Structure 1
Amino acid sequence: MDAALQRSNGRLAVPAIEIPGALPDHRDLRAVVAEFFCLHNRLVRVSPHTTIEESDDHVSTSSSLRKQRPITTDPAEAFAARPVTHDEVLEGFRDVHPRAKAIIHHGKDWKAWVTCDRDPIERWVDGRAVLLGDAAHPMLQYFAQGACMALEDAVWLAELLGDTPDAVEQALEKYRQVRLLRTARVQLQARELGTHVYHPAGVHALLRNQFMRETSLEQFCDRLAWLYGSPFP
């Protein structure tokens, strides 16, 4: 993605480039995702077993990674990864349970990346070339839908090309039309989740807490039906 078009949300993700050796042999850690995301300037391990704890001013499972990226006007430099030490990563997770924290000791070459997306765009097709996945609609992690949207793109693209193999350009344009608004909605609502659910503070956080308490499970599921229902006719 062109660095000048990227939109930073001001937070960091800190993935480990390598996770060598065996992970702790415990049933709660079998489905580990070796990547860590930032939650209210706090790093969070994202896995099926992540526990989100609520307080008056933030939703978090860990402490702050306090070292910040230096200010720069160069887009390429602003979005480049910077190395972080093992101790910095441990500091970010000092409040995490020791069993989960043990995963960090298996990581090497930690780097901090700015998390960013891009505004939705209409042009995905150029002749017989077409974009899909993050190339077409990069999004923040809060909906956990980046890979899902890419898979949906691939299925739609394969189906439409299979239906009209002699009309490739028309099939590509149809694919763009079918996918544009759904992926744009996920992009934009992922931003809003970050702003209003994961990272609010003060009265904003209190409002979030009230809203979550007053939302029933049925209401919550109804509001997400558009996302988790089948995207195919």
Structure 2
Amino acid sequence: MNQGEPGQDDDPAGDPAERKMRFLFALRSRGVTDARVLTAMERVDRGLFVKGVFAARAYEDMPLPIACGQTISQPSVVGLMTQALNISPRDTVLEVGTGSGYQAAILSELARRVYTVDRYRRLTHEAAELFRQMKLNNITTITADGSHGLPDQAPFDRILVTAAAEDPPGPLLAQLKPGGIMVLPVGQSDAVQSLIKVTRTERGFDYEELRPVRFVPLVEGLGSE
């Protein structure tokens, strides 16, 4: 649900092969270099997750509005966050903030199992239906307060948070396996945020700042829609 800078692709229509080539080139030029991540993003059609008047802009490297006042993240930021997780094929991943479902679909190409949580029932229902149509059978979609994680399914090898908190939420840190990685935006306002990589070690947690970002805030409780 990132709100980053606009992309440069000003011809979203046209030949699908050329469009895909431009899409992947934009990802690489912005630092997404992991071959597995690029392959996953090539397989998952972002156009399936963008509806209405913004559908024609689905292949630009920019965030776009979706229902419930949320956004579908800028593809290059999706790629960089996924790359930072360093997912292995045996990993179980928790995503906090389902949104359109685009990020979870990419995670499903890389991990053994994905649990994705959102506070808006409308978003989880629409995403779950898309996953069913795409035959992505390793995603479990749940309507819940994601700031508390999923204690019944914990611990997780990887955790991805697609909304910004002032600090990494304690319940999510507690649900991370030793050696596990969590990637999330952290910041006290929607104008000043940093993407953080947290690695759980035997001694505690190591923190690495990756880049400036801009995400919607992480809100406790369930949404009204």
Smaller-chain TM-score bracket: under 0.3
Which of structures 1 and 2 has the larger relative contact order (alpha carbons within 8 angstroms, sep 6+)? 1
The structure where strand makes up a greater share of residues is 2
TM-score, structure 2 normalization: 0.24
The structure where helix makes up a greater share of residues is 1
TM-score, structure 1 normalization: 0.24
- Higher Rg of the two aligned structures: 1
